[in-house]
Amino acid sequence: MLLLIALANVPLYLYGDGSFGDGIWLRGHPVVDQTVLFGLTVLVRGRAYPMFAFLFGYGIVQLQRRLASTGVDDVTVQRLIRRRGTWMVLIGCCHALLLFSGDIIGAYGLLAVLLAGMLVRARERMLLIISAVWVVPLVLFRTLEGQLSPLHGKATSTTDVLQAAEMRILEWVQHSVVGSIFILVPAVLLGVCAARRRLLDEPQCHHRFLLPVALLGVALAAAGGLPWALVKASWWDPPSEAVAMTVGVVQTLTGFAGGLGYAAIAGLVAIRVQHREQRPGRVISALVACGQRSMTCYLLQSVVFVTVLASYGGGLGNRVGYADIAALAVATWVLTVLVAAWMSGHGYRGPAEVLLRRLTYRAAGSAAVR
370 within a domain of the structure (yes/no) = yes
Sign of the Cα torsion 324, 294, 347, 278 reads: negative
Q: Which domain-ending residue is among 150, 178, 197?
A: 197
Per-residue confidence of the chain (370 residues) as pLDDT tens digits?
899 999 999 998 888 654 434 444 454 457 888 899 999 999 999 899 999 999 999 999 999 999 888 888 989 999 999 999 999 999 999 999 999 998 999 999 999 999 999 999 999 999 999 999 998 888 887 777 655 554 455 677 777 888 889 889 988 988 777 777 778 899 999 999 999 999 999 998 999 999 999 999 999 999 999 999 999 888 898 888 889 888 988 998 999 999 999 999 999 988 877 766 566 788 889 999 999 999 999 999 999 999 999 888 888 888 888 999 999 999 999 999 999 999 999 999 999 999 999 999 885 554 445 5
Is 258 part of any domain?
no
Query: Looking at the structure, do residues 49 and 188 belong to the same domain, yes or no?
Result: yes
| 192 and 85 together in one domain | yes
In-domain check, residue 23: no
- Contact call for residues 227 and 236 (beta carbons, < 8 A): yes
- What residues make up the domain containing 344? 280-370
The reply to whether 172 falls in a domain is yes
Backbone angles phi, psi at 265, to 5 degrees: -60, -40
317 shares a domain with 190:
no
Region of 17 on the Ramachandran plot (φ > 0 left; ψ -120 to 50 alpha; else beta): left
Instruction: Tell me whether residue 7 is in a domain.
Output: no
Residues 285, 177 share a domain: no
Asked whether residue 49 falls in the same domain as residue 192, the answer is yes
Are 189 and 310 in the same domain?
A: no
Q: Which of 165, 171, 188, 51 is nearest to 101 (CA)?
A: 171
How many Cα atoms within 13 Å fall on the side-chain side of residue 339?
Answer: 18
pTM exceeding the 0.75 threshold for the entire prediction: yes
Domain boundary among 163, 197, 231: 197
Q: Are residues 49 and 191 in the same domain?
A: yes
In a domain, 22, yes or no: no
* Count of structural domains within the chain: 2
Final residue belonging to a domain, choices 197, 228, 246: 197
* Any domain includes 264: no
Same domain, 182 and 324: no
Asked whether residue 303 falls in the same domain as residue 193, the answer is no
- Residue 207 inside a domain? The answer is no
Residues 182 and 315 in one domain: no
